[in-house]
Every structure is written in structure tokens, then in C-alpha cells.
């Protein structure tokens, strides 16, 4: 398991607004926003309510060079239901995402696998997925 996943941002305000909209249907909330330069570059963090980890972070790059997408990199967000996949995908598209594959079953991955793909406003590939048997991840206390 990971502690956090980070993607770079050039237009931080736009990326924060995008992820606020896209992650809300999954029950993720922005837990930290640090827009003042300090020991690290400005950014924002999303988690499950009341949880510290794992985190999803959008941040300006540490090296202060422009952010760019990684070839072959994809961030996949677990959804509590198929309806949450549909809602997250719709919110992402409405907030400026580019379609990479609408919600639907993906039986080639596993039985009951349901997902959708898009790219955030800066081109990072994201995936919303519901998998049978993973519901317990949402029932566990943060």
C-alpha cells in the first residue's frame, strides 16, 4: 500500500478545483491546502474524512520546473459503488477532464470490474474503479 500519491500542477488553482469536484463523489475531501511557499512548494491534499493516510496530493514540483505528465503513469481511485464511478467521471468531465474511456464493465480485468478513465486538466491519467469485494475498504474506520 502507499502512503501518498502526488501529481504536479502548473495551474494549481485550476487543479484544486478540478480534484475537489472529481473526488467528492468518492467521499474524499481536501484536508490540507498550503498555498504559501514554505519548506515545500504550494499544494493541496485529499484524504478520507478523518484519515491522515493515504493521501492524494496536487503540488507544484519541488524542482520549480514546469510539471509534466508521466508516460505510463495512472492514478486509480477506488469507488464505493458503480454509481460513484459514474458520478466521479461525470464530475471530472464537467470540470474539464478529457475522456479516456467512459464508465463501464471491464471484464478483461476481472469479473465485476467497473471503471472509467480520463485525463485531468494538465494531462494526468486518472481512473475511477469499483471492484466487488473492496467495499470493506470503505467500511473500515479511517
pLDDT digits (tens), the chain, 142 positions: 689 999 999 999 999 999 999 999 999 999 878 766 667 788 999 999 988 889 999 999 989 899 999 989 999 999 999 999 999 999 999 999 999 999 999 999 999 999 999 999 999 999 999 998 877 677 665 5
68: CB partners within 8 A, 6+ apart: 8
What residues pair up with 118 in beta bridges, in sequence order? 99, 126
87: CB partners within 8 A, 6+ apart: 25
69: CB partners within 8 A, 6+ apart: 119, 122, 123, 124, 125
Cell of 33: 491546502
CB 44 within 8 Å of CB 33: yes
| CATH (residue range 4-139) | 3.10.180.10
pLDDT at residue 138 in the model: 72
pLDDT at residue 130 in the model: 96
pLDDT at residue 39 in the model: 73
How far is the C-alpha of 11 from the C-alpha of 118, rounded, in Å?
Answer: 18
pLDDT at residue 1 in the model: 66
Question: DSSP string spanning 66-88?
Answer: PP-PPTT-EEEEE-SSHHHHHHH
Amino acid at each position: 500500500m502507499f502512503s501518498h500519491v502526488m501529481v504536479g500542477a502548473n495551474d494549481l488553482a485550476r487543479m484544486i478545483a478540478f480534484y475537489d469536484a472529481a473526488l467528492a463523489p468518492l467521499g474524499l475531501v481536501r484536508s490540507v491546502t498550503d498555498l504559501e511557499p514554505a519548506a515545500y512548494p504550494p499544494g493541496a491534499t485529499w484524504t478520507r474524512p478523518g484519515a491522515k493516510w493515504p493521501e492524494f496530493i496536487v503540488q507544484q514540483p519541488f524542482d520549480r520546473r514546469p510539471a509534466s505528465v508521466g508516460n505510463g503513469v495512472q492514478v486509480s481511485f477506488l469507488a464505493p459503488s458503480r454509481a460513484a464511478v459514474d458520478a466521479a467521471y461525470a464530475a471530472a468531465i464537467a470540470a474539464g477532464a478529457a475522456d479516456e474511456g467512459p464508465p463501464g464493465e471491464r471484464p478483461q480485468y476481472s469479473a465485476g470490474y467497473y471503471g472509467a478513465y480520463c485525463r485531468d486538466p494538465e494531462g494526468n491519467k486518472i481512473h475511477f474503479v469499483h471492484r466487488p469485494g473492496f467495499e470493506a475498504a470503505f467500511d473500515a474506520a479511517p
